[in-house]
């Protein structure tokens, strides 16, 4: 790592020469000081950042970790000087990148800085690339010359780069599109690259490749990277240093190894504990953080985590807690009870073991040789047949939970939709041994009709039977309480619900009349880490209380392991491995299962204090 | 059992749509809304507001606008102000009737096409296209020629060519909704098809229909006035803005107020209706 460091020094010097100011010492690429950003949402202030200070050092990868609503994206945009102009949010504090003021500086200077010394990679490459321009044209815009563009494509690992120059974005896979975005970001050897969730939209195996690429590029170029992510595990894989953001406040800062092995702030401790790993206990509830993230319209006046914190005392809720030096190691945490927090880490318990799920005779679903293909028609009339399922044999017993695990295109969702009756199978046999299976969806908000109240949505499953209004209302209230909501939620409509609340309402609708078979299509993958654990615990409990069989579709083996008795690993329309959940994760037989397990981010991460190894290039 | 998880109690409060409508639009939108509402009120309370019976000569012919007759009198001696007040009523009622019939007919056809899909969709939409191809004025002339002139007949002719727009827009919205998780979840809930159609699908097309309807008011007022100008409206003395303008046209140089006043009210009505329509469209867009 000696090479990159000296390299970085040179680049920073150059950058400073072009901007001609000396406000920033060379070892620091960017400095954010007490940044507050408040948006206006139809008259109500929306507090995105509430006094954040940090610095990005030369040549480092800084991980900014935060759940939704933490302000991490706004922080990334602030570093790029790209906060929206219309309407302009209220801003105080300063953002200094290589001597240029990104908040109040002249737009011309900021643009020049962005062009010469900054790079940006965003979450969704398919919308960040211009669909009407070839990949080559777009990279040449950033790189200047064709030769340089080809060199960049090669550097980011695109095979046959000369030919790919002529391709249009839609002809590339998601992973390749993100590589192209990265190629554009690193044109001109930037001093600082801001990457906002660059791997979130990608499959795990592709994510792993992109992380490798970023680590390698940092070593080659010596650029600093700011890596914004919601996933501590991903940050663990790539970052040298981590800052933890929550509700617009910076709660903890430290080296990756310190933050992961010796977290100081109760929120970081909870976040780490609720992260599902391959060694999370399966026989009891996983650790979950109670409650919801604060509403950005009315954040608590004190520590934003106080409403969810076990250690809360009055002094926590009075005023904002500034970052405090952690006594026993380097780094800061915004907590006045750091000593007790250390003890909290040890005492974080997961509750009593689950009782065994009821075993019920008979099969909930039996599938034999189920096939399905889709015909994709191109614009010029040529039809392409795609086999989504190539002969699936699977039996799910009553009361049993089976997880279908695979990446996008594996056919796992198609299989689920066939069982639900939303798609028709082309061939094979299917027998469903229970009445009307229910389904919950990845995007719970989109699965709730927005103009109907929760009471109507949950209650309508009981309508058409000879039950009184009052009995339906009672059943709805009962179902809401069962999923951890108060009956008052019944009056709300979907846009009033948070993501976690919406998923609970969707579950309440499914279980208001227990279905015998619950189909779950990635119900946790759009949720924040802390909520994911809550929903998995909920499903695990409902399953035992109500004797549900569950088919759980996910791309996350760690989640599958916790929820399911058996795991079916799917690849390319077939089940490549089927076995007891613990067995599949501990002793995978199929090479594809092994690849999936190997690309799970953050598995090397030990909360106990064992050695942590950063991803090396 | 719920005790192990903290009960989530707080839900976001819901802003009232009406309050937003009155608060958010610009000054021009609010002014237009005010004028439109005022004109609608005038039309509703026409008998109370009009000082004279529009069908009985009220004074000497060709009196210029003045204190006795605000907008003057026409060649027969009718009070133009009273006739304009009743004419507004005819224009607005005509526009609303056509729009309402468009929403009902087009809504049902669009809902059926969008919710069923497949060949039903194709058949209904191609039929819709046929109606869309008919020119309104020619059809109106044909209808009038067949069953005689009259306000109702004109409305009928316009309504025949008007509903396809609503059918198209409803069908588009429903088709998009049909593949959303909310509809799939509703299907899996085991509820009746009728409930899915009318509770889960149809309300989703309401914003688009509302925008189209408000933007249509201005256009329809112009078209109806135009047809009435061509003599395709109610027979002679009936107070209609288009017909009044047409019959007074030969006095344009001597007694300008006879054709100009009704024409000006057509223009004002259409203009403010369009402004309000634009405002509502912006509002719907910002609510997405």
Question: What ipTM was predicted for this assembly?
Answer: 0.78
Task: Return the pLDDT at A380.
Answer: 63
**Residue that the structure tokens 């929903």 belong to:** A535
Please, which residues have CB within 8 angstroms of residue A106's CB and are 6 or more apart in sequence? none
Residue B35: both structure tokens together: 């004028």
Residue B65 has pLDDT above 50, yes or no: yes
Q: Is the pLDDT of residue B236 over 50?
A: yes
Please report the beta strands in A189-262, taking only residues with DSSP state E, as ranges in sequence order: 192-196, 224-229, 241-246, 249-255
Task: Quote the pLDDT of residue B5.
Answer: 39
The fraction of chain A above a pLDDT of 70, given in percent, is: 92
Task: Give me the pLDDT at residue A498, please.
Answer: 83
Contact A488 B5 (CB under 8 A): no
pLDDT at A432 (0 to 100): 92
Substitution target from A306, A484, A532 for chain B, most B beta carbons within 10 A: A484
| Chain B residue with minimum CA distance to A454 | B11
Tell me the C-alpha distance between B90 and A588, whole Å. Answer: 79
A201 vs A209: CA distance, rounded Å: 13
- Asked whether residue B132 carries a pLDDT value surpassing 70, the answer given is yes
pLDDT confidence of residue B285: 64
**Residue B188 and residue A485: Cβ atoms within 8 Å?**
no
Of A447, A488, A497, the CB nearest to B181: A447
Give A582-615 pLDDT, tens digit per residue: 999 999 999 999 999 988 887 765 443 333 444 5
Q: Using the beta-carbon criterion (under 8 Å), do B188 and A439 form an inter-chain contact?
A: yes
CB pairs < 8 Å spanning A and B: 112
Band of pLDDT at residue B141, cut at 50, 70 and 90: confident
The answer to whether the Cβ–Cβ distance between B11 and A439 falls below 8 Å is: no
pLDDT tens for A36-55 read 999 987 778 889 999 999 99
Give A-chain residues touching B1 at CB under 8 angstroms.
482, 541, 545
Residue labelled with tokens 């405090």: A324
* Subunit contact A463:B13, Cβ cutoff 8 A: no
B183: nearest Cα among A433, A451, A513, A550: A451
Exposure of A379 by Cβ count < 10 A (0-12 exposed, 13-18 middle, 19+ buried)? exposed
Per-residue model confidence as pLDDT tens digits over A132-175: 999 999 999 888 899 999 999 999 988 889 999 999 998 888 88
Number of H-type helices and E-type strands within chain A = 22, 21
Residues of B with CB under 8 A from a CB of A: 1-2, 4-15, 20, 24, 180-192, 195, 199-200, 203-204
pTM, whole model, 2 decimals?
A: 0.82
Please tell me whether residue A473 adopts helix, strand or coil conformation: helix
| Best B1, B3, B6 residue to mutate vs chain A (most A CBs within 10 Å) | B6
Q: Looking at CA atoms only, how far is residue A448 from chain B in angstroms?
A: 5
Mean pLDDT of chain A: 87
DSSP per-residue letters across A61-77: EEEEEE-TTSSHHHHHH
Compute CA distances B220 → B142, B214, B275, whole Å: 19, 10, 14
Nearest CA in chain A to B182: A447
* Residue A122: CB atoms within 10 Å: 21
A154 contacts A230 by C-beta, under 8 angstroms: no
C-alpha distance across the termini of chain A, in Å? 10
CA–CA distance, A506 with B189 (Å, rounded to integer): 11
| Residue count (chain A) | 617
Range scoring the smallest mean pLDDT among A117-126, A164-173, B143-152: B143-152
Q: Do B185 and A285 touch (CB under 8 A)?
A: no
Within 8 A of B283 by CB-CB distance, chain A residues are none
For residue A500, what pLDDT band results from cuts at 50, 70 and 90? confident
Residue A363: partners with Cβ closer than 8 Å, 6 or more residues away: A395, A396, A397, A398, A431, A433
Report CB contact under 8 Å: B181, A492. Answer: no
Q: What is the pLDDT of residue B11?
A: 58
Q: Which of A211, A304, A47, A87 is CA-nearest to residue A604? A: A211
Q: A161 and A150 in contact (C-beta within 8 Å)?
A: yes
**CB–CB contact B191 A443 (8 Å):** no
Q: Which residues of B touch A451 (CB under 8 A)?
A: 203-204
Q: Which residues of chain B are within 8 Å of residue A291 when distances are taken between CB atoms?
A: 6, 8
In this predicted model, what pLDDT tens digit does every residue of A306-338 receive, in sequence order? 988 888 898 899 888 999 999 888 999 999 988
Nearest CA in chain A to B287: A42
For A521, the closest chain B residue by CA position comes to B181
CB contact under 8 A, A446 and B190: no
Whether A420 and B188 lie within 8 Å, measured CB to CB: yes
Q: Are A207 and A600 in contact (CB under 8 A)?
A: no
Mean pLDDT within B23-40? 80
Distance from the first to the final alpha carbon of chain B? 38
Query: CA–CA separation, A397 vs A385, rounded Å?
Result: 33
Phi, psi of A310, rounded to the nearest 5 degrees? -70, -25
CA B185 to chain A, closest CA, distance in angstroms equals 6
CA distance to A49, A502, A573, B245, per residue, from A37 (Å): 5, 28, 47, 59
Structure tokens at A557: 């083996």
């Amino acid at each position: 790592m000696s090479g990159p460091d000296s390299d970085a020094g040179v680049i920073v010097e150059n950058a400073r020469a072009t901007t001609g100011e000396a406000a920033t010492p060379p070892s620091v690429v960017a400095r954010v000081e007490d940044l507050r950003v408040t948006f206006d949402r139809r008259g109500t202030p929306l507090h995105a950042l509430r006094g954040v200070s940090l610095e990005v050092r030369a040549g480092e990868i800084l991980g900014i970790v935060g759940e939704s609503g933490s302000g991490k994206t706004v922080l990334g945009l602030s570093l790029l000087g790209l906060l929206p102009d219309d309407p302009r949010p209220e801003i105080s504090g300063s953002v200094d990148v290589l001597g240029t003021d990104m908040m109040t500086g002249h737009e011309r200077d900021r643009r020049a800085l962005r062009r010469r010394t900054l790079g940006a990679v965003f979450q969704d490459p398919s919308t960040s690339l211009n669909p009407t321009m070839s990949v080559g044209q777009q990279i040449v815009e950033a790189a200047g010359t064709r030769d340089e563009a080809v060199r960049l494509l090669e550097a980011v690992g695109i095979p046959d780069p000369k030919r790919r120059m002529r391709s249009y974005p839609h002809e590339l896979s998601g992973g390749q599109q993100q590589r192209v975005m990265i190629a554009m970001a690193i044109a001109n050897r930037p001093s600082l690259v801001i990457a906002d969730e660059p791997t979130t939209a990608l499959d795990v195996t592709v994510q792993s490749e992109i992380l490798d690429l970023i680590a390698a590029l940092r070593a080659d170029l010596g650029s600093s990277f700011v890596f914004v992510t919601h996933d501590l595990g991903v940050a663990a894989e790539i970052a040298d240093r981590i800052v933890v953001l929550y509700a617009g406040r910076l709660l903890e800062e430290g080296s990756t190894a310190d933050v992961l092995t010796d977290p100081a702030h109760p929120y970081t401790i909870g976040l780490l504990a609720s992260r599902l790993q391959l060694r999370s206990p399966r026989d009891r509830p996983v650790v979950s953080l109670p409650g919801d993230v604060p509403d950005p319209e009315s954040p608590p006046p004190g520590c934003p985590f106080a409403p969810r914190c076990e250690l809360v005392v009055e002094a926590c809720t009075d005023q904002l807690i500034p970052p405090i030096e952690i006594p026993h190691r380097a780094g800061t945490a915004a907590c006045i009870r750091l000593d007790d927090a250390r003890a909290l880490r040890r005492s974080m318990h997961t509750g009593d073991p689950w009782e065994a799920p009821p075993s019920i005779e008979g099969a909930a679903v039996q599938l034999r040789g189920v096939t399905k293909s889709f015909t994709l028609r191109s614009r010029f009339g040529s039809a392409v047949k795609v086999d989504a399922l190539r002969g699936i044999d699977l039996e799910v017993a009553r009361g049993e939970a089976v997880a279908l695990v695979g990446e996008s295109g594996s056919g796992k969702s198609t299989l689920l939709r066939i069982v639900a009756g939303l798609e028709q199978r082309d061939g094979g046999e299917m027998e469903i041994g229970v009445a009307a299976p229910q389904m919950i969806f990845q995007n719970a908000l989109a699965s709730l009709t927005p103009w109907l109240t929760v009471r109507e949505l949950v209650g309508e499953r009981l309508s058409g039977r000879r039950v009184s209004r009052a009995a339906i209302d009672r059943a709805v209230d009962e179902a809401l309480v069962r999923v951890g909501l108060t009956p008052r939620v019944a009056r709300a409509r979907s846009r009033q619900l948070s993501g976690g609340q919406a998923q609970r309402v969707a579950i309440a609708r499914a279980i208001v009349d227990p279905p015998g078979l619950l189909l779950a299509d990635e119900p946790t993958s759009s949720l924040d880490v802390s909520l994911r654990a809550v929903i998995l615990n909920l499903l695990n409990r409902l399953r035992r209380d109500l004797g549900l069989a569950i088919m759980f579709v996910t791309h996350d083996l760690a989640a599958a392991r916790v929820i399911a008795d058996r795991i079916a690993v799917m690849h390319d329309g077939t089940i490549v491995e089927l076995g007891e959940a613990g067995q599949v994760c501990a002793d995978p037989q199929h090479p594809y299962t092994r690849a999936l397990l190997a690309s799970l981010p953050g598995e090397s991460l030990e909360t106990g204090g064992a050695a942590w190894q950063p991803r090396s290039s | 059992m719920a005790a192990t998880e903290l009960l989530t109690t707080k839900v976001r409060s819901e802003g009232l749509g009406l309050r937003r409508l009155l608060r958010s639009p610009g000054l021009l939108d609010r002014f237009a809304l005010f004028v439109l509402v005022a004109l609608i009120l005038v039309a509703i309370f026409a008998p109370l507001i009009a000082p004279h019976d529009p069908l009985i000569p009220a004074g000497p012919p060709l009196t210029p606008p003045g204190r006795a007759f605000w907008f003057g009198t026409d060649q027969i001696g009718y009070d133009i102000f009273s006739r304009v007040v009743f004419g507004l009523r005819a224009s607005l009622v005509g526009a609303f009737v056509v729009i309402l019939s468009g929403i009902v007919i087009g809504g049902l056809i669009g809902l059926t096409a969008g919710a069923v899909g497949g060949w039903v969709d194709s058949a209904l939409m191609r039929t819709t296209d046929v109606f869309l191809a008919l020119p309104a004025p020619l059809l109106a002339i044909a209808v009038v020629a067949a069953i005689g002139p009259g306000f109702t007949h004109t409305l009928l002719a316009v309504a025949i060519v008007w509903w396809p727009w609503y059918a198209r827009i409803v069908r588009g919205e429903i088709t998009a909704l049909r593949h959303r998780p909310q509809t799939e979840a509703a299907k899996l809930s085991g509820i009746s098809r009728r409930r899915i159609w009318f509770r889960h699908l149809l309300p989703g097309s309401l914003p688009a229909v509302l925008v189209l309807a408000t933007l249509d008011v201005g256009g329809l007022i112009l078209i109806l006035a135009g047809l009435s100008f061509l003599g395709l409206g109610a027979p002679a003395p009936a107070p209609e803005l288009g017909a009044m303008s047409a019959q007074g046209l030969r006095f344009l140089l001597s007694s300008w107020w006879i054709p100009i006043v009704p024409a000006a009210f057509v223009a004002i009505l259409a203009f403010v209706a369009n402004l309000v329509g634009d405002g509502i469209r912006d509002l719907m867009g910002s609510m997405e």
